[in-house]
Amino acid sequence: MLTTFDDDADIVEAIRAGASGYLLKNAPAEDLRDAVERAGRGEWLLSPSVTQRVMKLVAAGQAAPTPDPRLAFLSAREIDVLTRIGHGDTNEEIAAVLHLSPSTARTYVSRILAKMGARDRPELVVIAHRSGLVLD
């Protein structure tokens, strides 16, 4: 995430939503280029000032994720699919990882959207992260 906002709530929310990094727009061009390359390799990156703040939050005992109560309406397999959605997997990737057909994966995604009352797939990603289904 590249932003001008550097308050603690925005940092935590971005990370929980799946940002692989958090840099402020006033970062040097070399740092921005490095961040894009690292994100492309799947690495995490926080600007030095953000790192210090995140460390303070962790040291202060930031609350653990709170599972969404709507998860109770999902089957174990739907939870597996939602977790893969949280990782950013496509339907084809979900199918391969969970040994499903792509059509079945699409059906699961549609059911999860309906059961969760979610508008779209990005909302499911946020739910998965906030609920602690995605830990890496």
Domain match, 52 and 74 both: no
Residue 10 shares a structural domain with residue 48: yes
Q: Is residue 136 part of a domain?
A: no
Residue 55: give its domain's CATH number: 3.40.50.2300
Q: Which of 35, 59, 83 is the last residue of a domain?
A: 59
Handedness of CA 80, 63, 2, 27 (dihedral sign): negative
Over the stretch 51-98, which tens digit does the pLDDT of each residue have? 776 777 666 665 556 778 899 999 999 999 999 999 999 999 999 999
Three-class SS of residue 28?
Answer: coil
Residues 19 and 44 in one domain: yes
* pLDDT score at 4: 75
CATH of the domain at 125: 1.10.10.10
Q: 0.85 exceeded by the pTM?
A: no
Assigned domain for 135 exists? no
Q: Measuring CA to CA, how many Å separate 117 from each of 36, 57, 74, 81? A: 34, 32, 12, 16
pLDDT digits (tens, 9 = 90+) for 17-38: 777 777 888 888 888 888 888 8
Cα separations (Å) of 128 from 16, 50, 69, 84, 108? Answer: 9, 24, 12, 9, 15
Domain that holds residue 46: 2-59
E strands, 20-76, are 21-24, 45-46
Backbone dihedral angles phi then psi of residue 46, each to the nearest 5 degrees: -125, 140
Residue pLDDT, tens place only, 86-129: 999 999 999 999 999 999 999 999 999 999 999 999 999 989 98
Q: Say yes or no: 46 and 79 in one domain.
A: no
Is pLDDT at 14 greater than 90 in this prediction?
no
* 75 found inside a domain: yes
The per-residue pLDDT for 23 is 80
CA distances 79 to 1, 3, 39, 41, Å, are: 27, 32, 27, 27
Task: Say yes or no: 88 and 41 in one domain.
Answer: no
Amino acid at site 102: P
Domains in the chain: how many in total?
Answer: 2
For residues 74 and 125, state if they share a domain: yes
